Structure formats: structure tokens, C-alpha cells
Amino acid sequence: MLYDFLLRAALAGVGVALAAGPLGCFVLWRRLAYFGDATAHASILGVALALAMSLPIALGSLVAALTLGLGVVLLGRGEQNSDTSLGVISYSALALGLVTASLAGGNRIDLSAYLFGDILAVGQGDLVTILLGAVAVLALLAWRWEGLLLSTLNPDLAAASGISPRRESLILTLALALVVAVAIKVVGALLIGAMLILPAAAARSFARTPEAMAAIAAAIGALSAVAGLAASFWLDTPAGPSIVTASTVIYVISRLAPKGGTARG
């Protein structure tokens, strides 16, 4: 059918949003926005290498994002007091990816679609990869929810309860790398951070528990994906940025709404 590509795009956007929303809550609670950006930017290097070697894009971005994320956590730099280090890593990784693409492929490699997303070009294979990745992230978060939450709110209490905060940080890094790998086709490396942060930030105004905040963030992200795609179709605007713009509008509305939530993190 003529609009099959829109259906695939909508499913891909919703799939990414359902995984990014709950994960974004942990990013907010741990104040790791820079960490998310650094991981997303590092994925561009993986994309460039994957294109140069004719490997799957999702695999390349996953390996690059996971390598950087694990390196930062293992070196003890995944905390909120290392904004400068993460900023340096973030932009250096992005620049290195662009330079690598230029050296490896000359004019054959165009990374613009991976910087800003190309959701309307999502094929059936891409859709399967995105949905499987989203399911894996949700399953991982559900499996480790209590440990992740306790180590986020009180690392000392988590350690006393037999939960390793370092292990939970590694699990969170794995989930973040998976989201980056599946989202890069949808909104691009430069906007993945927005898909993590904006729905979770908007959900704060409506949530009374961490679980409710995660669920509301997922719903807001899904609504943003559908609304952004609709706006892109009718206004002929870029799809990825339109999705983020829709999420921004919802965030602004949430800030104007009466504040009743307590899941502040």
C-alpha cells in the first residue's frame, strides 16, 4: 500500500519511545544526560565503521555505544560530577566518527541520515530490529527494576542489601546502548538524548511514583512519535526533528499544568 512506509515509521517511533521513556527516567534520576549524549555520539563512529566494512548498522552503533559506555562506567566516570569529561568524550567521539567516515568512504558515506534520523526510510528488517531491541530493553529494565531503582536512590543502602551499584550501572549502560542502536535510524544520534530526556521530564509533573513516571514517560514518547510523524506528513518537515518538537510541546504543557507528582528523583 501507498502508506505502508508511514505505518512502519509509526511502529518504529512508538517502539523506540516505549523503551526510551522508562530508560530516560533513570537518566534523569542519575543526572546522566551528558552520559546519554556521549553514548549516542559515539555510535556515529560505529556507524561509519559499519558502513565502511559493509556490516549491519545497528551492530556497529551498538558495539561503539556499548564500548564507550562500559569504558566510562568502569573508569568511574559515569557520575554526575564529570560533566567536563563526558562533554569532551561526547564531541570527540562525534568528530572522530565524521572523520572516519570521510577517510573510509570518501563521498560514498553520507552520515546525515544517522545524525538526524531517517524514520520514513525504515524497512521491514529495520522495524524488526527496532522492535526486538525495544523489547530487550524493556525486559532488561523490568528484570532489574528494583536493583536499578535502589542503587539510583541510595547506593549505600543498595550495597548493604547485597546489590552492587556498579553492576546496576553496567546494566543501565547496556540498556542505553541498545536504545541508541535502535533509535539512531529513527531520530538520529544528535536527537536521541532528547527522546530520552523530554518524555521523562514531562512525566515528572504527572507521576506520584517512579513506576508511574516510567509508564507516563513511555506514553508521552509514543504520543510524540505519532504526533511528530503526522506533523511531518502534513507540513512536509523532517520527521525526526518533528518528533522531538512534539515532545517539546508536551513538555512545555506539562510545565504549565498543576504540579502533583512526587517522582522527582
Domain extent listing, the chain: 4-191
Is residue 39 within 8 Å of residue 212, measured between CB atoms? Answer: no
Q: Which CATH number fits domain 4-191: 1.10.3470.10, 1.10.3720.10, 3.40.190.10, 2.40.400.10?
A: 1.10.3470.10
pLDDT at 219: 96
C-alpha cell at 53: 566494512
Q: What average pLDDT does range 45-68 have in this prediction?
A: 84
pLDDT at 256: 87
Whether the predicted pLDDT of 78 surpasses 50: no
| pLDDT, greater one: 139 or 45 | 139
pLDDT at 75: 64
pLDDT at 196: 92
Distance CA 132, CA 134 (A): 5
Measured in whole angstroms, the distance separating CA 213 from the mean position of its chain's CA atoms is 17
pLDDT at 132: 92
pLDDT at 72: 72
pLDDT at 182: 86
The reported pTM is: 0.86
Whether the predicted pLDDT of 3 surpasses 80: no
Residue from 111, 116, 91 nearest 245 by CA: 116
Tell me: the pLDDT tens digits for 180-224? Answer: 888 888 888 888 889 999 999 999 989 889 999 999 999 999 999
Residue 44 confidence class, pLDDT cut points 50, 70, 90 = confident
For 140, phi then psi, to 5°, come to: -65, -45
Whether the predicted pLDDT of 10 surpasses 60: yes
pLDDT at 243: 93
Measured in whole angstroms, the distance separating CA 123 from the mean position of its chain's CA atoms is 20
Q: What average pLDDT does range 226-233 have in this prediction?
A: 92
| Percent with pLDDT over 90 in the chain | 34
How does DSSP assign 14-61, residue by residue? HHHHHHHHHHHHHHHHTT-HHHHHHHHHHHHHHHHHHHHTT--HHHHH
Distance CA 22, CA 145 (A): 10
- CA torsion sign, 29 to 152 to 146 to 263? negative
Whether the predicted pLDDT of 95 surpasses 80: yes
Distance CA 15, CA 229 (A): 14
pLDDT at 80: 43
Residue 110 confidence class, pLDDT cut points 50, 70, 90 = low
